[in-house]
Chain A
Amino acid sequence: KAGVTQTPRYLIKTRGQQVTLSCSPISGHRSVSWYQQTPGQGLQFLFEYFSETQRNKGNFPGRFSGRQFSNSRSEMNVSTLELGDSALYLCASSPYGTDGYTFGSGTRLTVV
């Protein structure tokens, strides 16, 4: 079966712009989580959605937001981009969020 698909793979944006990243989970998975990976901070949790509801949120500013659609696909949005938002953004899906996650290949965001 198809894995977790993230689009786009690479993205270059200018400071101040906004960006939307997309994640298609494994079919049947209802939980989707997002993580930010940077060399300095490592892997940091952004948020987790289950059946269109945000169940948990990490310690990120309000510029970072997300949503989940009825087909479990998820998007995350970052507004007013800053240079420090440059990172690999990873999406992961799980059937119920209770037994481990399968990760996508990530979206590499570069803010210039």
Chain B
Amino acid sequence: AQSVAQPEDQVNVAEGNPLTVKCTYSVSGNPYLFWYVQYPNRGLQFLLKYITGDNLVKGSYGFEAEFNKSQTSFHLKKPSALVSDSALYFCAVWGVRGSTLGRLYFGRGTQLTVWP
């Protein structure tokens, strides 16, 4: 079965401080992992993905994510948060075989608030 968990509904951080949004996954086989961001009344914007290769993945807007196979985690990070980063963040795992093919399994989302 494919699933992801985002253990925090809300993350608050001061502008300029580092931020982390947590994600753990459960998959059959190798994981294909994604992070998306959603601003109010908008669709999902792609931030980054891990398919294979380096465990540290760099994405859009200065975000990066660290893939940790032993801990089955894929946490999203940014060294210095901006107020404009405030949004809803979704972690997702992609089905790559059988009945899961072509389907994204999303976490519940984490609301990030960056204080000025």
- The minimal Cβ–Cβ distance linking A95 to chain B, given in whole angstroms, is 12
Identify which of A58, A94, A103 contacts B43 (C-beta below 8 A).
A103
- The minimal Cβ–Cβ distance linking A86 to chain B, given in whole angstroms, is 14
Determine whether A21 belongs to the interface, using a CB cutoff of 8 Å to chain B: no
Chain B positions near chain A (C-beta within 8 angstroms): 32, 34, 36, 41-46, 49, 51, 90, 94-96, 99-109
Whether A90 lies near B109 (C-beta < 8 A) is no
Within A83-110, the residues touching B (CB, 8 Å) are 90, 92, 94, 97-106, 108
Determine whether A33 belongs to the interface, using a CB cutoff of 8 Å to chain B: yes
Whether B43 lies near A97 (C-beta < 8 A) is no
Residues in A whose Cβ lies below 8 Å from that of B106: 42-43
Residues in B whose Cβ lies below 8 Å from that of A58: 103
Look across to chain B and name the residue whose beta carbon is closest to the beta carbon of A9.
B41
Whether B103 lies near A103 (C-beta < 8 A) is no
Whether A33 lies near B43 (C-beta < 8 A) is no
7 further contact pairs, Cβ within 8 A, besides A101-B104, A104-B43: A33-B102, A43-B109, A45-B104, A98-B102, A100-B46, A105-B42, A108-B41
